[in-house]
């Protein structure tokens, strides 16, 4: 038995193939039950996102995973072969760590993938597909991910625009001081930013958009205001984030000055729009701190260099963690061997016991029955080791003989 990873991702397969291979969340549990019905697969976790579909399994044969995926998607055996990758042992552990840490993401270091890995594991655990070995592996990976991201600084150098925006907001106002945020727009950028904001307890979020329905669909718990209410909203907020497709500035010199006169603290504005939503000339005003896409990109570029260094340090730690887990994984074979041997001996014992019991019930003398029982049990227990030793005398060397003596407990 060994740990295997079989799958495809955004690097190995085009979008059209990933679409075919993806397993929707509501189909994950049936898929997990299906894979456990395959001979030789003992445990499994399926990670399926828009960028990857991977199976993590304890199995006796890697080929079984490919066969299962072909059956799962009703494809011929080998259809996905040119797009898939396969890892086992240390390489499999290292791959899972890279995925969880974010090194295998489209945006290196992206923290959201860890949540997807945790969700996949939780589904497998609930479905009874993640047994003791994968449970141990994933728990260790979650602990190691946090350690590696902290030790290498990888988590401090994010590069996705939404996460960079979130970090920049924290540079402007400490989380424990953040009370009110104004979001202008209801597009993808704002949508990706909202989950980070929702981590802040009791944060008041005002969402301003031209279309009320879009804003309500995006965040129904927010205070929804029309675009005409923007000046009033900017008077009382800590930070305003702009990300609309307006071709004219929403905030100009003329509109901003009365707003700043009514404020007692600095107004932080993050303008993520192109064309810009905040007129560039207002940055000279006291009481305003303005950041735009150039500032975000500059920070991203600076962080990319740091991120590359962090990624190199992370790879070193990944290898160390992988080796440690592989040493544990190597004990799986011995555990299963011991269990299988005990099961086999117990089957022999039970068979001979039932034979002896039948003879006693027929009235045969107990001493004769016990004598016959002990001889039969000893002969059956010695049969296979004796046959193996007879075969090995002409094929194996002294090391094998020493191991056999140790196993049999003889000198």
Rounded to 10°, the helix 161-172/293-361 angle is 110
Contact between 238 and 178 under an 8 Å Cβ cutoff? The reply is yes
Q: Of 71, 37, 52, nearest to 6 (Cα)?
A: 52
The SS3 call for residue 43 is strand
- Reply yes or no: is the peptide bond before residue 275 cis, omega within 30 of 0: yes
CA–CA gap between residue 388 and residue 331 (Å, rounded) = 23
Name the residues annotated as catalytic: 50
Q: What Rg, from alpha-carbon coordinates, does the chain have?
A: 32
CA–CA gap between residue 139 and residue 145 (Å, rounded) = 10
Strand order in the sheet with 2-9: 41-49, 52-59, 2-9, 85-88
Beta bridge mates, 251: 278
CA–CA gap between residue 79 and residue 65 (Å, rounded) = 13
CA–CA gap between residue 212 and residue 227 (Å, rounded) = 10
Q: Please provide residue 6's backbone torsions phi and psi, each rounded to the nearest 5 degrees.
A: -130, 130
Q: How far is CA 276 from CA 173, 238, 241, 397, in A?
A: 23, 20, 12, 78
DSSP string, 47-90: EEETTEEEEEEEES-THHHHHHHHHHTT--TTTTGGG-EEEETH
CA–CA gap between residue 330 and residue 346 (Å, rounded) = 25
Contact between 152 and 314 under an 8 Å Cβ cutoff? The reply is yes
The SS3 call for residue 174 is coil
The secondary structure of residue 374, as a DSSP letter, is: H
Q: Please provide residue 47's backbone torsions phi and psi, each rounded to the nearest 5 degrees.
A: -110, 110
């Amino acid at each position: 038995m060994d740990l295997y990873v079989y799958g495809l991702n955004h690097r190995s397969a085009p979008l059209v193939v990933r679409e075919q291979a993806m397993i929707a969340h509501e189909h994950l549990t049936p898929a997990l039950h299906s894979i456990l019905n395959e001979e030789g697969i003992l445990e499994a976790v399926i990670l399926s996102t828009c960028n990857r579909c991977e199976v993590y399994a304890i199995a006796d044969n890697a080929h079984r995973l490919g066969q299962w995926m072909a059956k799962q998607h009703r494809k011929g055996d080998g259809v996905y072969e040119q797009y898939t990758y396969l890892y086992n042992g240390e390489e499999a552990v290292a791959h899972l760590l890279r995925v969880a840490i974010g090194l295998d993401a489209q945006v290196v270091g992206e923290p959201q993938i860890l949540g997807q890995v945790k969700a996949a594991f939780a589904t497998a655990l609930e479905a009874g597909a993640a047994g003791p070995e994968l449970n141990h592996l994933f728990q260790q990976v979650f602990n190691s991910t946090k350690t590696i991201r902290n030790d290498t600084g990888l988590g401090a150098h994010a590069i996705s625009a939404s996460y960079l925006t979130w970090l920049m907001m924290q540079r402007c106002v400490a989380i424990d001081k953040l009370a009110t945020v104004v979001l202008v727009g209801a597009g993808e950028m704002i949508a990706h930013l909202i989950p980070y904001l929702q981590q802040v307890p009791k944060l008041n979020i005002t969402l301003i958009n031209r279309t009320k329905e879009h804003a309500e669909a995006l965040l129904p718990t927010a205070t929804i205001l029309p675009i005409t209410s923007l000046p009033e909203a900017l008077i009382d907020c800590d930070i305003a984030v702009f990300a609309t497709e307006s071709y004219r500035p929403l905030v100009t010199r003329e509109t901003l000055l009365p707003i700043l006169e009514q404020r007692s603290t600095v107004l932080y504005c993050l303008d993520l729009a192109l064309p810009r939503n905040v007129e560039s000339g207002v940055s000279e005003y006291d009481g305003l701190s303005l950041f735009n896409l150039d500032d975000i990109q500059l920070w991203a570029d600076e962080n990319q260099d740091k991120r590359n260094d962090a990624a190199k340090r992370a790879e070193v730690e990944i290898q160390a963690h992988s080796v440690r887990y592989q040493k544990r994984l190597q004990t799986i074979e011995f555990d299963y061997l011991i269990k299988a041997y005990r099961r086999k001996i117990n089957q022999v014992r039970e068979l001979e016991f039932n034979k002896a019991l039948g003879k006693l019930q027929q009235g045969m003398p107990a001493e004769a029955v016990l004598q016959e029982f002990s001889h039969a049990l000893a002969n059956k227990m010695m049969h296979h080791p004796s046959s193996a030793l007879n075969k090995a005398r002409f094929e194996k060397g002294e090391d094998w003989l020493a191991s056999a003596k140790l196993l049999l407990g003889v000198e």
